[in-house]
Structure 1
Amino acid sequence: MQVEGFFEGLGQAIGAVIRFVVDGLDWLFHGFTHAGSNFIEGLSRTLGMDTSLISIGALIIGLILLYSAIRAFMRASIIMGIIWLALGLWVMSWVVH
Structure 2
Amino acid sequence: MDSENLFHWIGEKLGAAIRFIVDALSWLFDNLYGAIDSFVRGLTGALGINASIFSLLILVIGVAMLYAAVRALMRRAPVATVLWTVLGVIVLSWLIH
Query: Which category of TM-score, normalised to the shorter sequence, fits these structures?
Result: over 0.9
**Alignment length (residue pairs):** 97
The range that moved more, 64-73 or 36-45, is: 64-73
TM-score, structure 2 normalization = 0.94
The residue identity in structure 2 corresponding to 1:42 is: G
Deviation at 1:21, TM superposition (A): 1.0
Counterpart in the other structure of 1:96: 96
Counterpart in the other structure of 1:16: 16
- 1:77 aligns to 2:71 (yes or no): no
The residue identity in structure 1 corresponding to 2:54 is: I
Counterpart in the other structure of 1:55: 55
SS state of the match for residue 69, structure 1?
helix
Deviation at 1:6, TM superposition (A): 1.5
SS state of the match for residue 59, structure 1?
helix
**Aligned Cα root-mean-square deviation (Å):** 1.0
Deviation at 1:76, TM superposition (A): 2.0
- Give identity over the alignment, percent: 41
SS state of the match for residue 66, structure 2?
helix
Deviation at 1:75, TM superposition (A): 2.0
Aligned mates of 1:13, 1:69 — CA distance in 2: 59
The range that moved more, 58-67 or 4-13, is: 4-13
Deviation at 1:57, TM superposition (A): 0.6
Gaps of 5+ in 1: none
- Structure 1, residues 2-37: CA drift from partner, whole Å, max 9, x if none? 211211111011100110111011101111111001
TM-score, structure 1 normalization = 0.94
- 1:33 aligns to 2:30 (yes or no): no
Deviation at 1:96, TM superposition (A): 1.1
- Structure 1, residues 32-87: CA drift from partner, whole Å, max 9, x if none? 11100100000000000011011101101100100111121222211111111111
The residue identity in structure 1 corresponding to 2:40 is: I
